[in-house]
Structure 1
Amino acid sequence: MTYANVGTLGAVPGKRDELVAHLTQRSPELTAVGCLLYEVGVNDQEPDTVFVTELWTSSEAHRASLELPSVQASIAAARPLLSGEFGGFDFTVVGSPLRD
């Protein structure tokens, strides 16, 4: 079953755009391991928050992605841009009116 992970990342004040640039760098490895969608967004009402929506072939694929050396390096590089405030939720997708 498809797995979704939706969350927020708190950015160090003034570093949101730098965090967005980092999170939106191309990563073909994510597709290879089972990432179907990885969307990054902002809301001007929350200037120090980045919103991320991920869709994966399975929760196992998501967990496997966290073990990739490129993802580990990306997390380490992003850490100084993060305030430590995180939010979100995950769920198993059961259907959509847009696809079978």
Structure 2
Amino acid sequence: MTFANVGTLGAQPGRRDELVAHLTRPGAELAAHGCLLYEVGVNDEEPDTVFVIELWSSAEAHRASLELPAVQESIAAARPLLSGVFGGHRFDVVGSPLRGTP
């Protein structure tokens, strides 16, 4: 079952664009490990927040991705850009009108 992780990452004041650049660097490793979609967005009404939408082949694939050396390195590199304010939701996708079935 497809797993969704929809969240917000607080950026240090004035460092949102650096965080976006970091999160949007090209890389095929996530796709090779079950990531179906990884979208990064901003809203100028929340200038120190980055929005991330992830779809994974399963919750297990998402959990396993967090152990990949490249992902661990990326998290470590992003830490100085983060304020420590996080939010979001995780859920199993049960269907979509675009796909017609779950």
Q: Which runs of 5+ in 2 are unaligned?
A: none
Q: Is 1:6 the counterpart of 2:6 in the alignment?
A: yes
Q: Distance in 1 between matches of 2:26 and 2:53?
A: 16
Unaligned runs of at least 5 residues, structure 1 = none
Backbone CA RMSD of aligned residues:
0.5
Q: How many Å apart are 1:26 and its aligned residue?
A: 1.1
Give the deviation of 1:75 after TM superposition: 0.1
For the residue of structure 1 that corresponds to 2:6, the secondary structure is: strand
The TM-score, its normalising length taken from structure 2, stands at: 0.97
Shift in Å, 1:58: 0.1
Q: Report the 3-state secondary structure (helix = DSSP H, G, I; strand = E; otherwise coil) of the residue aligned with 2:4.
A: strand
TM-score by length of 1: 0.99
CA deviation after TM superposition for structure 1 residue 6, in Å: 0.2
Distance 2:78 2:20 in 1: 10
Q: Which residue of 2 aligns with 1:45?
A: 45
Deviation at 1:27, TM superposition (A): 1.8
Q: CA deviation at 1:93?
A: 0.2
Q: Percent identity?
A: 80
Aligned length: 100
Alignment match, 1:33? 33
Q: Report matched runs for 1:47-86 at 5 Å.
A: 47-86=47-86
